[in-house]
Structure 1
């Protein structure tokens, strides 16, 4: 049974590093959550390391810039690991071929930039679907459009045997008061239609491998039993942490605020029902990170 806690400080002495999600935990896509910022600052002040672990399809430098723009101060975190960087490694080493059809918005062009960390890479060219060897999905063309609108293109792609590289396994996120679709919704549809989707973000192992490498680069290698995964995704953050043998803190006031009856804290009965339905048991739960 998950333990409902009041603050991160209640359990922080058990951990040296936190893997903290962004959307729904530290910000809503528009502005930072002040209590979450202070909680991470306090964890760092106590000697802890804060690694921001995000399913953003963007390179980590771009995510850092986005955080600056929405008011998340750099003194509340140490390093970033993104689903985008994990997926870029796969793309640049040929996971879906050299000629790719890109599904995503124009501002996601940075995904195709070279990576210093790789020596031998393939030359990636973006082409129309009928010329492609594979698909790279950083997100929908329109985050408000029904993913089902992609069925005709996906039928052609599946018929041609194209693999879809998903740079962000999230299905939806909340941007302020609006819920928008992510790349994971398209990858899910493609898989349901019989296509093959490749995932590199939470809850899949590659992003956790990248996170551990980031810690080693900092000289902050941490045993798994001293890492806490924090997130609001019951199909991404929680199973990802559990799969990596990492304790998890579930933020119930994010994507599942209605299902868990969360105001300041979740309703215990609704939370129990929600977790039973999801067949998940996070180590801890809290309304919002604070």
Structure 2
């Protein structure tokens, strides 16, 4: 049964490292969440390591700049593993070919900057769909638009048997009070239409492999039994932790705030019903990271 806690400090001594989701846990897409930042700073002061594990399609450096703009202090984390970096590594290894059709916003073209973890990267160029060998998707052209608008494009792509590389498996995200569609919604649609989608963020294994490498880079070599995953996504953070056999702390005041009836803390009956509906198990739950 999921244990409801009131603060990270109640369980922190059991773990050497944290894999922490960003959006909905550390910031809301607009500004930092002060209590969460304070909890992570205090955890690091006790000797623990914090890996920010995000399904952002952005490179690590871009996420660092974004967090500082939101007011997340550097003292709250040790390193970052992004879905974007995991997917970029696969792209530069040739997962969807050298000529790719790009779906995303102009500022997300940073995705095509080389990544150092690939020894012999292929030369990837963006081309029109008619010339493409594959698709790279960092998110919708318009995050407020219905994903179904992509059906004609995806029908053509499926007929060409193009694979779609999804840089962010999240379906939706809340930017402040506004809910937006993510790349995962498009990848799900393409798969439902019979296309092939490749995933690299949570809950899929490649991003956890990257997180372990990043953890080792900062001098920590914790095994999964001493790692706690923290996040607000049942089908990303919590399902991913289950797949890796990592304990998890579910933040109910994020994406599932309404379903779990969270004000400061979730309603226990609503939480139980929600986790059962999502068919996931979290070791712990809390309204907001603090």
Alignment root-mean-square deviation, CA: 0.5
2:142 counterpart residue number: 142
Find the aligned partners of 1:119 and 1:77 in 2 and give their Cα distance. Answer: 28
2:152 counterpart residue number: 152
Find the aligned partners of 2:276 and 2:246 in 1 and give their Cα distance. Answer: 20
1:288 counterpart residue number: 288
2:275 counterpart residue number: 275
1:121 counterpart residue number: 121
> Deviations along 1:138-196, whole A, 9 cap, x unmatched?
00000000000000000000000000000000000000000000000000000000000
Find the aligned partners of 2:116 and 2:225 in 1 and give their Cα distance. Answer: 31
Find the aligned partners of 1:216 and 1:18 in 2 and give their Cα distance. Answer: 13
Find the aligned partners of 1:118 and 1:199 in 2 and give their Cα distance. Answer: 18
Task: Look up the SS of the partner of 1:236 in the other structure.
Answer: helix
- Cα distance, 1:273 vs. partner? 0.7
- Cα distance, 1:281 vs. partner? 1.1
- Cα distance, 1:124 vs. partner? 0.4
Find the aligned partners of 1:237 and 1:165 in 2 and give their Cα distance. Answer: 20
CA contact (8 A) 2:231 2:251 kept: yes
- Cα distance, 1:60 vs. partner? 0.3
Where in structure 2 are the equivalents of 1:254-269 lying within 5 Å?
254-269=254-269
Task: Look up the SS of the partner of 2:234 in the other structure.
Answer: coil
Find the aligned partners of 1:276 and 1:218 in 2 and give their Cα distance. Answer: 37
Q: Are positions 1:181 and 2:155 aligned together?
A: no
CA contact (8 A) 2:56 2:83 kept: yes
Task: Look up the SS of the partner of 1:26 in the other structure.
Answer: coil
Instruction: Out of 66-75 and 115-124, give the one that drifted further.
Output: 115-124
- Cα distance, 1:117 vs. partner? 2.3
Find the aligned partners of 1:31 and 1:217 in 2 and give their Cα distance. Answer: 28
1:241 counterpart residue number: 241
Task: Look up the SS of the partner of 1:52 in the other structure.
Answer: strand
Structure 2 residue runs without a partner (length 5+): none
> Deviations along 1:223-275, whole A, 9 cap, x unmatched?
11110000000000001001101000000000000000000000001111111
2:191 counterpart residue number: 191
How many residues of Structure 1 are paired with residues of Structure 2 in the alignment? 290
| TM-score normalised over the length of structure 1 | 0.99
| TM-score normalised over the length of structure 2 | 0.99
Find the aligned partners of 1:93 and 1:136 in 2 and give their Cα distance. Answer: 13
- Cα distance, 1:280 vs. partner? 1.0
CA contact (8 A) 2:20 2:231 kept: yes
Task: Look up the SS of the partner of 2:180 in the other structure.
Answer: strand
CA contact (8 A) 2:26 2:36 kept: yes
